[in-house]
Chains A and B, each alone.
Chain A
């Protein structure tokens, strides 16, 4: 029992978390697939919607499967935040630069 509670503290895993995470993940997967397959709205509305739902599902996985958003594990969280910053710079920066480049090179296409 002491062994179990010790590892429990370390990893914070329990069945309840996995079940909640799984149910939320299924819902957050089904909604965007349904929205796109039924063409529920115009692409300009759908795209931001599915991106937000995808980001929400990533948070659900981080909290309930990786047990990351709890009180313990500050090093995990700080390395994650740094990574999110770098990822935002890489993806956001690329899209920004390439969009401007396209704008300047081929103005008739936009």
Chain B
């Protein structure tokens, strides 16, 4: 039941992202004289971010398989790998934002950039929340082992983590690939 309730929360989160996507697509033409997005996006860099998140989805799956076998040591190992991949993703995203702002393409420049930072930043904030959650869960698995409570929480974080990867498919398709096409 807890997992179903969490799933329904994720569905409401989907609607939040749908609104942000709709706002982004509507405003992506409003650039007020700034360079177009084609020069802005570095696709090989985005491909690496995408790779980090995709591999982390897979390693989280391995943590769930370890959980089903009752191997808390393997759960910890795969959660650790997932955490590092997620952290790499966030570090790369923060670095990207930093470069954009330093080059005068901050969220205050025009409507397109505002909607870009809101959409991609909201996804990044979710991933950051997932990373904090993952640390807490690793501490709890260390403390209590794999019981009913930690198993349920691992399942909920699994849904959350895979969900964020699905949202990222929308982000790299609609924002980066579409943007790079000019």
Tell me the complex Cα distance, A79–B11, Å: 7
> How many interface residues does B have (CB within 8 Å)?
48
Q: Does the CB pair B64–A11 fall under 8 Å?
A: yes
Asked if A83 lies at the interface with its beta carbon under 8 angstroms from chain B, I say: yes
- Residue from A11, A37, A61, A87 within 8 A of B14 (CB atoms): A87
Q: Does the CB pair B54–A22 fall under 8 Å?
A: yes
Main secondary structure of the interface of A (DSSP, over half): helix
Q: Report the tally of A-B residue pairs with Cβ distances under 8 A.
A: 116
Given contacts A65-B61, A87-B15, contact A58 B4 (CB under 8 A): no
Tell me the complex Cα distance, A24–B86, Å: 21
Q: Does the CB pair B65–A14 fall under 8 Å?
A: yes
- Residue from B7, B50, B64 within 8 A of A29 (CB atoms): B50
Q: Does the CB pair A98–B26 fall under 8 Å?
A: yes
> How many interface residues does A have (CB within 8 Å)?
44
Main secondary structure of the interface of B (DSSP, over half): helix
Binary interface profile of B, 12-56, with partner A (CB < 8 Å = 1, else 0)?
A: 101100110111011000000000000000011001001100110
Residue of B nearest to A30 (CB): B47
Given contacts A11-B68, A36-B181, A65-B162, contact A26 B54 (CB under 8 A): yes
Binary interface profile of A, 80-95, with partner B (CB < 8 Å = 1, else 0)?
A: 1011001100110011
A-B contact pairs, 19 of them (CB 8 A): A4-B68, A4-B69, A7-B67, A11-B68, A18-B61, A18-B62, A21-B58, A22-B57, A37-B180, A47-B178, A54-B174, A61-B165, A65-B57, A66-B163, A86-B15, A87-B14, A90-B18, A91-B21, A95-B22
